[in-house]
Amino acid sequence: MQEVAGNGLLDRRLFLKTGFGIGAATLLAPVVMKNLEAAPEAAPVNTASPPWMHTPGAGYSTYGMPSKFEDDVVRFPSANSAIPGNGVSWTPLHLLEGTITPNGLHYERHHNGVPQINPSQHRLLIHGLVKNPSFFSIENLLRYPLRSRICFVECGGNSNAGWNKSPIRSEAGYFHGLVSCSEWTGIPLPVLLDEVKPTKKAHWLIAEGADAFAMQMSIPLEKAMDDAMLALYQNGERIRPENGYPLRLILPGWEGVMNVKWLRRLKLTDCPVMARNETSRYTELLPDGKARMFTMVMQAKSLITSPSANMLLREAGLYQITGLAWSGRGKITRVDVTADGGNTWAEAELQEPVLSKSFTRFRIPWQWNGSPATLQSRATDESGYVQPQRKDLVAERGRHGFFHYNAIVSWQIDEFGSVSHVYDKDEIAESSDPVDIDAGWD
Amino acid sequence: MQEVAGNGLLDRRLFLKTGFGIGAATLLAPVVMKNLEAAPEAAPVNTASPPWMHTPGAGYSTYGMPSKFEDDVVRFPSANSAIPGNGVSWTPLHLLEGTITPNGLHYERHHNGVPQINPSQHRLLIHGLVKNPSFFSIENLLRYPLRSRICFVECGGNSNAGWNKSPIRSEAGYFHGLVSCSEWTGIPLPVLLDEVKPTKKAHWLIAEGADAFAMQMSIPLEKAMDDAMLALYQNGERIRPENGYPLRLILPGWEGVMNVKWLRRLKLTDCPVMARNETSRYTELLPDGKARMFTMVMQAKSLITSPSANMLLREAGLYQITGLAWSGRGKITRVDVTADGGNTWAEAELQEPVLSKSFTRFRIPWQWNGSPATLQSRATDESGYVQPQRKDLVAERGRHGFFHYNAIVSWQIDEFGSVSHVYDKDEIAESSDPVDIDAGWD
């Protein structure tokens, strides 16, 4: 097995071969969560039938749930105790596989909790600079032609701990898991705009949510007429309450806060509303003293989910490095991986189908020799954009950032196989004056 | 809006146009479930903010659930009272959208209930005609290279009421919903077979489940070496107990019973095991007196999910007809729809991406004139196979069928807009001696 890049990276097609003759699989070594104190003792192999083959199993259920043995696969809430219902809960990306996020584990970001909306009393109002201002009930909306698409939604504040001067110690999902990917089904927004007939002066839509925060965000009309959707379904079933039941605005590839949940109003205007969450929040002071605002598109990003922080490699040997990549600008075209902290890179395999503005799963085999190693992944999208190194991102954006952190992530493996989040030496901007993020969620 | 086929079918691209100028959407008429006794009274439009904007909403949850207002969107269990845990539960396809089935609503088919397996005590044994018989723990298996794919799983007995002499009155999902579609992630089976090294005499694998029924099924080695997968994850998270936790054999496109759940053993042999479920069941007597056995591939099928049985069209007007199509032989290449009981057909739009052996969502606009109408859909797959009419299927397979019913389905709309399942006059095999299915699930 010849290396394709330094420190043991192997050809991405190694595991794609079928037929007898790979001969490598027995070498694969285990990755476990470090919080398992010791290797779970393998029960002695018993060739007799196990106890659950001796009595009838459980009956049918009208709505199923995960096994009780998976009760550690949960969202991790991180709420602001000063403001009721303000905060986030993180998707455990490090415990998931594939590209679809199950609805129960889709990340949450609320500003004042989850409203419990009776759909028969919910209305969408479209008004402002339009010829036919209109109310729409959910029953009305369900009459419209529907479309489906798989896409990610990512909070603008995802991965914000990357701005900290010291690497955060959380698991990968509890650091980068304010992003999830679902099949959304809803009404193309242009269909409804066609009905209300915007006037020529209309250039923006002010979207408002029906939560106690009354979230307001300004959406350019151009995006609304491109691929915006009024979503009613998520992964086949109606949207969950915490994701905007009964109606959510989906702006594929744009920051999560603009994908307004519990949507109750779209007001067409000639300019943005300059709401709190597009001025004092989701806006950042740059090194030159100017404010970086209306940062709508989520740039290309990638993350190795296994092995990742707080996992343990029990022995030297062959591993499958895997992770996720996504871009708000379209399709991921390649993901490169390094095992030597960025000296040499090899191209990972992308799981088909690669969809625009959607999670793309990447994988590459790696022979770990038992010495310290630093793993990183680097995404490139169809616009040609390449995920930046941390030092370059910090140099560009300064030390007052909280949002839109998309730098390359480094996982360091020590000689005991323990995986930690680190800032690789090349990643630290020497000239910076690092400060910790203390703004938190509000 | 010019018709493209009789009785109001319109160009499938009608709803694809964006930009101002469709002008048709306001005409869309509502489809509701008939069991709503009357139209739900639309609450008076209140421009004031609703009550849930006046108090903080609910807090964060570690694992989310659907809204309480969606508590009628459930699987429908239909169990055999004589045998504990034997029966099915149906996916409510008529209440879902898109192509992914949420895990809580994936159909169930058990022969003796759902075993509650402790994964640390579960083993997979691969033995028989192999050079290296081996046990694999789940922890071992999680070390192997993983792959993901979206595909459907369909019970061989799905839609069996189609063989009845009178049309069943159930909703579409409670008649055709023993099929669901998920993103499965697992180990390509060839990787493990490579390790155990089958001998030259090996041509079959006997797969055994760890339930109290000890399900056994015979799998041709050729399929195992093609696209078989040992699945560990379903839609991102670990497989649910009722779908085979912790390990399920996935044979894309092949009948559900062969996708053995709770997989504990693969024995390589030179011939099939001739187990109960491949001889006395999942086998049928043909008109010529021969038995139809080992009917592994699920043939192309389609189903209009809206409007469908027991729904109500409240008024004449424009509708979006939508449904699902799938084939065990590969991709769906086209779905045709008729609104005049098969006299004329028009091609529906297929939602991209169209994936092999996966649900494909189709849609076509329809102008209902208020007169009785009969809707049907007809799938064609990339092998050139065309979904048959009911009379042709019955003529070929006789009256002793219970499995593999994939004929075209007819929904009749009466002058009041009420939708019923019917056998269209062309669908009844005149020469047949129809009998009702009474075998049930066992």
Q: Which residues of chain A does B349 touch, with a Cβ-Cβ cutoff of 8 Å?
A: none
Q: Within its chain, how far is the Cα of B265 from the centroid?
A: 26
φ/ψ (deg, to 5) at A217: -140, 150
A439 within domain boundaries: no
Q: Which residues of chain A does B28 touch, with a Cβ-Cβ cutoff of 8 Å?
A: 143-145
Q: Do B102 and A235 touch (CB under 8 A)?
A: yes
Kindly report the nearest CA distance between residue B306 and chain A, in angstroms: 11
A54 within domain boundaries: no
Q: Which residues of chain B does A322 touch, with a Cβ-Cβ cutoff of 8 Å?
A: 146
Q: Which of A52, A181, A223 to mutate to test the interface with B (most CBs of B within 10 A)?
A: A52
Q: Which residues of chain B does A12 touch, with a Cβ-Cβ cutoff of 8 Å?
A: none
Same domain, B274 and B305: no
Q: What angle do CA A241, A297, A382 make, to 5 degrees?
A: 115
Q: Nearest CA to B228 among A414, A18, A359, A181?
A: A18
Same domain, A276 and A334: no
Q: Which residues of chain B does A139 touch, with a Cβ-Cβ cutoff of 8 Å?
A: 30, 32, 40, 42
Of A292, A326, A357, the position where a domain reaches its end is A292
Same domain, A231 and A329: no
Q: pLDDT under 50 in chain A at which residues?
A: 18-27, 36-42, 431-434, 438
What pairs with residue B186 in β-bridges?
B147, B231
Question: How far is residue B210 from each of residues A57, A325, B111, B125, B339, measured CA to CA in Å?
Answer: 10, 37, 12, 11, 47
Same domain, B392 and B421: yes
Same domain, B262 and B160: yes
B6 within domain boundaries: no
A17 within domain boundaries: no
**Cα–Cα dist B143/A284, whole Å:** 42
CB A365 within 8 A of CB A8: no
Residue A82 buriedness (CB in 10 A; 0-12 / 13-18 / 19+): exposed
**Cα–Cα dist A186/A233, whole Å:** 7
Nearest to A100 among B96, B100, B191 (CB): B100
**Cα–Cα dist B195/B188, whole Å:** 12
**CA nearest to A126 within chain B:** B47
Q: Do A210 and B26 touch (CB under 8 A)?
A: no
Torsion of CA A63, A66, A71, A77, to 10 degrees: -60
Helix (H) or strand (E) holding A191: helix A189-196
Same domain, B274 and B349: no
Q: Do A20 and B193 touch (CB under 8 A)?
A: yes
- B432: tokens are 């047949």
Which structural domain range is residue B349 located in?
A: 301-427
Instruction: State the amino acid at position A108 in one-letter form.
Output: E
**Cα–Cα dist B398/B286, whole Å:** 6
Question: What per-residue confidence (pLDDT) applies to A18?
Answer: 46
Q: Which residues of chain A does B55 touch, with a Cβ-Cβ cutoff of 8 Å?
A: 212
CB B304 within 8 A of CB B322: yes
Q: What does the DSSP assignment read for B378-442? A: EEEETT--BPPPHHHHHHHH-S---S------EEEE-TT-BEEEE--GGGS-TT-----------
For residue A157, how many other CB atoms are within 10 A of its CB?
Answer: 23
Q: Do B115 and A210 touch (CB under 8 A)?
A: no
* Contact residues for B158 (Cβ-Cβ < 8 A; gap 6+): B176, B177, B178, B179, B256, B405
Q: Within its chain, how far is the Cα of A66 from the centroid?
A: 22
Residues 295-314 of A with CB under 8 A from B: none
Number of independent structural domains in chain B = 2
* Contact residues for B162 (Cβ-Cβ < 8 A; gap 6+): B168, B175, B390, B405, B407, B409
**CA nearest to B222 within chain A:** A19
How much helix, strand and coil, in percent to the nearest 5, is found in chain A? 15, 35, 50
Same domain, A250 and A114: yes
Q: Which residues of chain B does A225 touch, with a Cβ-Cβ cutoff of 8 Å?
A: 18-19
Q: Which of B18, B22, B97, B331 to mutate to test the interface with A (most CBs of A within 10 A)?
A: B97
**Cα–Cα dist B64/A104, whole Å:** 4
- B240: tokens are 């649910």
A381 within domain boundaries: yes
Q: Which of A27, A28, A69, A225 to mutate to test the interface with B (most CBs of B within 10 A)?
A: A69
Q: Which residues of chain A does B353 touch, with a Cβ-Cβ cutoff of 8 Å?
A: 353, 355
Same domain, A423 and A279: no
User: How many residues are recorded in chain B?
Assistant: 442
Q: Which residues of chain B does A350 touch, with a Cβ-Cβ cutoff of 8 Å?
A: none
| E-assigned strand segments in A192-316 | 204-209, 216-220, 229-234, 237-238, 248-250, 263-269, 284-285, 291-292, 301-306, 311-313
φ/ψ (deg, to 5) at A198: -60, 145
Nearest to B43 among A59, A121, A125 (CB): A121
Q: Does A431 touch chain B (CB under 8 A)?
A: no
Q: Which of A71, A194, A313, A349 to mutate to test the interface with B (most CBs of B within 10 A)?
A: A194
| E-assigned strand segments in A327-368 | 332-338, 346-347, 349-350, 360-368
Question: What per-residue confidence (pLDDT) applies to A384?
Answer: 98
Q: Do A102 and B237 touch (CB under 8 A)?
A: yes
Same domain, B278 and B325: no
Q: Do A98 and B235 touch (CB under 8 A)?
A: yes
Nearest to A57 among B26, B85, B190 (CB): B85
Kindly report the nearest CA distance between residue B173 and chain A, in angstroms: 13
CB A143 within 8 A of CB B28: yes
Residue B54 buriedness (CB in 10 A; 0-12 / 13-18 / 19+): exposed
Residue A215 buriedness (CB in 10 A; 0-12 / 13-18 / 19+): buried
Mean pLDDT by groups of 10 residues along chain B of 442 residues: 88 64 47 54 64 94 97 94 90 98 98 96 96 92 92 97 93 97 97 94 98 96 98 98 98 98 98 91 88 94 97 91 98 98 97 98 95 97 97 90 93 96 74 51 76
Q: What angle do CA B298, B303, B306 make, to 5 degrees?
A: 155
Question: What per-residue confidence (pLDDT) applies to B79?
Answer: 85
Q: Which residues of chain B does A96 touch, with a Cβ-Cβ cutoff of 8 Å?
A: 233, 236-237
Q: Do A355 and B353 touch (CB under 8 A)?
A: yes
A246 within domain boundaries: yes
* Coil vs helix vs strand at A381: strand
**Cα–Cα dist B387/B197, whole Å:** 40
- A47: tokens are 């060739």
Nearest to B113 among A59, A76, A211 (CB): A59
* Coil vs helix vs strand at B325: strand
Question: What per-residue confidence (pLDDT) applies to B43?
Answer: 52
CATH of the domain at A353: 2.60.40.650
Residues 88-147 of A with CB under 8 A from B: 88-89, 95-106, 108, 110, 112-123, 125, 135, 137, 139-140, 142-147
For the full predicted model, state whether its pTM sits above 0.90: yes
Kindly report the nearest CA distance between residue B343 and chain A, in angstroms: 25
Same domain, A198 and A215: yes
Residues 18-47 of A with CB under 8 A from B: 18-23, 25-26, 28-32, 40, 42-43, 45-47
CB B296 within 8 A of CB B217: no
B42 within domain boundaries: no
- A354: tokens are 């690669």
Kindly report the nearest CA distance between residue B409 and chain A, in angstroms: 22
Q: Which residues of chain B does A26 touch, with a Cβ-Cβ cutoff of 8 Å?
A: 195
**CA nearest to B185 within chain A:** A98
CATH of the domain at B182: 3.90.420.10
Q: Do B25 and A145 touch (CB under 8 A)?
A: yes
**Cα–Cα dist B17/A142, whole Å:** 19
* Coil vs helix vs strand at A216: strand
Kindly report the nearest CA distance between residue B104 and chain A, in angstroms: 4
Pairing of strands A301-306, A317-326: antiparallel
Q: Which of A20, A75, A143, A226 to mutate to test the interface with B (most CBs of B within 10 A)?
A: A143
Same domain, B137 and B279: yes
Kindly report the nearest CA distance between residue A339 and chain B, in angstroms: 18
Kindly report the nearest CA distance between residue A427 and chain B, in angstroms: 30
Same domain, B397 and B316: yes
B16 within domain boundaries: no
Q: Do B19 and A233 touch (CB under 8 A)?
A: no
Nearest to B241 among A63, A67, A122 (CB): A67
**Cα–Cα dist B439/B244, whole Å:** 25
Q: Do B97 and A236 touch (CB under 8 A)?
A: yes
Residues 188-217 of B with CB under 8 A from A: 188, 190-195, 197-198, 210-212, 214
